[in-house]
Amino acid sequence: MARMIAERSDVVPVLAEIFRAYGFEGASLARITEGTKLGKGSLYHFFPGGKEEMAAAVLGEIDDWFRAHVFDPLRSGNDAAKSIAAMFDEVRRYFLAGRKVCLVGVFALGCERDRFAAQVDGYFAAWADSLHEALVRTGRADAVAKELAEEILAVIQGALVLARARNEPEIFVRALDRMERRLAL
């Protein structure tokens, strides 16, 4: 069998799943080499900074994805209500309807928070701000929109926690549906 030549960009999504499943501390190099099917040599070739650089790359890719699929559309869509509905759809799909957990949330709760403070804070800040903007464009007062954006993010994160804790992904779907219905009023 021909030898596989990997690219850094191929590896990052695999790393994401491993960090998501085991957390930063739990994602040992043994698990990473197993999951990526890459030797330590290759891994350190792509990520000279080791595990920390791997995690940073994953956070960066998550940020890119959300920027492209969630944050930017929220800001630039000309129909704000439609952009918000689209956000809920993207989020539902991204988290596999509650079967996938939020890596940024995992890092936020653990002691990884301190190490990746800027990226963790930046992710939620960008989300809150872009959602806030969109809510204002639906005609809501600035203060109301700000609180609402905060609440929507909290419900999403909390529902992911509950869905995983109770092993019942439907909790996440129900929470999103409820929130969309509340916004429609």
Partner DNA sequence: GTCTATAAAGCGATAGAC
Partner DNA sequence: GTCTATCGCTTTATAGAC
CA atoms within 13 Å, Cβ hemisphere of 71: 15
Closest CA to 19 of 48, 66, 52: 52
Residues 20-39 that bind its own copies (CB under 8 A): 21-23, 25-26
Shortest Å distance, C-beta 121 to DNA: 23
Q: Is 27 in the site for DNA (CB under 7 A)?
A: yes
Give the 3-state secondary structure of the chain: CCCCCCCHHHHHHHHHHHHHHHHHHHCCHHHHHHHHCCCHHHHHHHCCCCHHHHHHHHHHHHHHHHHHHHHHHHHHCCCHHHHHHHHHHHHHHHCHHHCCCCHHHHHHHCCHHHHCHHHHHHHHHHHHHHHHHHHHHCCCCHHHHHHHHHHHHHHHHHHHHHHHHCCCCHHHHHHHHHHHHHHHC
Select from 4-12, 76-84, 119-127, 147-155 the region that touches DNA (CB under 7 A).
Answer: 4-12
By CB under 8 A, is residue 118 in contact with its own copies?
no
| Residue 117 in contact with its own copies, rule: CB under 8 A | yes
Of its own copies, DNA, none, which one sits near residue 137, judging by CB under 5 to 8 A according to partner kind?
Answer: none
Pick between residue 46 and residue 127 the one whose CB is nearest to DNA: 46
Does 108 interact with its own copies (rule: CB under 8 A)? yes
Site map 45..84 versus DNA, x via CB under 7 A:
xx-x-xxx--------------------------------
Residues engaged in binding DNA (CB under 7 A): 3-6, 27-31, 37-42, 44-46, 48, 50-52
Residues engaged in binding its own copies (CB under 8 A): 21-23, 25-26, 101, 104-106, 108-111, 113, 117, 120-121, 123-125, 147, 150-151, 153-162, 164-167, 171, 174-175, 178
